[in-house]
Amino acid sequence: MGNGKSRTEDSMGFDHTKHLNQWRWGTLAFVADRPTTMRPPPGRQQLSREFIARHQRARIIAALAEETVSRGYRAVTVADIVSRAGIARNTFYENFTSKEDCFLAAQDYAVEEALRRVVEAASAVESWPDRVDAGLAAFLGYVAEEPALARTCIVEALSAGPDSLARYEQSLQAFGPLFRIGRKVSPHGEELPATLEETVIGGIFWVIYQRIIQGDTERIEELRPDLVEFALTPYIGADAAKRALAE
């Protein structure tokens, strides 16, 4: 979250707080109006109207995810979502225009929440390899915590239709800057392939996708060392990647 706290540049000459905030709001302008949290701020007992509205939206999204996992996206109807969420049909249509609209909102919501967690975790450590490690750990933790939402956004999103597929492919790239920092510490720097971040991110998501379709979300966090090494190797070489992991 943009808390305005400014940090000095780190050992790699990189002001990550500034950068990560820019990346977050720059890349994700299209989700900036989405709810950023499902919990009220600590210490506030009275729920604001705004919070209730957000909560309602989040609840509908959660219901969509659960229905999608149990029936498959194609078979899900607005009636299923409404019934699972325990809300009135009108309430659904106050928030979303259609099932498709709700699905796209679910994707945006999940990407924003995933990014928030990744940025927070990556900002808490110094070196780039540690940031990749912390960011991936946070991401995998989120997938393990929200298996229905993860399946909806990582597996079902690919087959839910052209808009959803395009949104999926676009949103993956929001993670690009976290990896692109690696060029600053790479001996090859800008000589690295221009498409490297796209292939690294695509590869990570493909491995996670495979685990989810095998129904193996519970052990998804075990992928962490493999994926970190996969992400670091093209930038800093396999030896340095191995060393960074060992530390």
Tell me which residues touch another protein (CB under 8 A). Answer: 72, 74, 158-162, 165-166, 169, 172, 188, 191-196, 198-207, 209-210, 213, 223, 225-227, 229-230, 233-234, 237-239, 241-242
Q: Cα separation of 177 and 157, whole Å?
A: 23
Residues 188-197: contacts with CB under 8 Å, at least 24 apart:
188/235, 192/234, 192/235, 196/234, 196/235, 197/173
In angstroms, give the least distance from the CB of 205 to another protein. 7
In angstroms, give the least distance from the CB of 88 to another protein. 30
In angstroms, give the least distance from the CB of 58 to another protein. 27
In angstroms, give the least distance from the CB of 136 to another protein. 12
Q: Which is nearer to another protein, 30 or 230 (CB)?
A: 230
Q: Which is nearer to another protein, 66 or 197 (CB)?
A: 197
Q: Cα separation of 195 and 202, whole Å?
A: 11
Q: Which is nearer to another protein, 125 or 158 (CB)?
A: 158
Q: Which is nearer to another protein, 64 or 160 (CB)?
A: 160
| Beta strands per DSSP E along the chain | none
Q: Cα separation of 173 and 220, whole Å?
A: 21
Could you write out the DSSP letters of every residue in 59-117? HHHHHHHHHHHHH-GGG--HHHHHHHHT--HHHHHHH-SSHHHHHHHHHHHHHHHHHHH
Q: Which is nearer to another protein, 102 or 196 (CB)?
A: 196
In angstroms, give the least distance from the CB of 164 to another protein. 9
Query: For the chain, how big is the Rg over CA atoms in Å?
Result: 19
